[in-house]
Amino acid sequence: MADDVNNVSGKKTTGLWIFFGVAMLVAILLAVFISPWASSSPDGLEKVAEDKGFMEAAEDTEPTWTHSPIPDYGDAVGTKAAVGLSGFIGVLLTGALAAGVALLALGLGHMNKRRAAEPGN
């Protein structure tokens, strides 16, 4: 219990928006400046597919969705800047969409509450 008590004992915690800002900055820095240097080796599933001889199943299949604006995170362009930029776009896009989906879920919740509050329900 000792560490729980430590948390209570009034150590100043980070302000909410400072915390959000720092967290978002970390995400952007990782995506822009670290991801271009990430390992380009096949991942676990790709490696198993190569070793066990079923990679062709994917290579011989036409992708069903061909409208991805930035396939393979800018790897095709071949520059570190392209990967960093695609990381930047991806982070902002993912964050905005997730917040949007949360707003949608919240909206659905409010609608439900309102419906439940109506007389006769």
Partner 1 sequence: MHIPDGFLDPKTWGTLTGVSAGFTGYALYAAKSKLNEKVIPLLGITAAFIFAAQMLNFPVAGGTSGHFLGAILAMVLLGAWPGFLVMVVVLMVQCLFFADGGLTALGANIFTMAVIGGLMSYYLLMLSKGALGRSLSERTSLLTCTAVFSWISVVLASIACSFELAISGTVPLGTVLPAMVGVHAIIGVGEAIITTVVIAVVLQSRPDLVDAYSGPPELGKRVAREVA
Q: Which is nearer to partner 1, 19 or 79 (CB)?
A: 19
Residue bearing tokens 């219990």: 1
Q: Are 81 and 35 in contact (CB under 8 A)?
A: no
* Pairwise CA distance, residues 77 & 71, whole Å: 10
Dihedral angle, C-alpha 48, 49, 52, 55, nearest 10 °:
-160
101 interacts with partner 1 by CB under 8 A? yes
Distance of CA 13 to the CA centre of its chain: 26
Of these, 81, 87, 115, 121, which contacts partner 1 (CB under 8 A)? 87
Residues of this chain, 27-86, that bind partner 1 according to CB under 8 A: 27-28, 30-31, 34-35, 38-45, 47-49, 51-54, 57-65, 67-73, 83, 86
Q: Which is nearer to partner 1, 43 or 118 (CB)?
A: 43
Shortest distance, position 81 Cβ to partner 1, whole Å: 15
Q: Which is nearer to partner 1, 101 or 120 (CB)?
A: 101
Dihedral angle, C-alpha 41, 30, 20, 72, nearest 10 °:
-50
Shortest distance, position 97 Cβ to partner 1, whole Å: 5
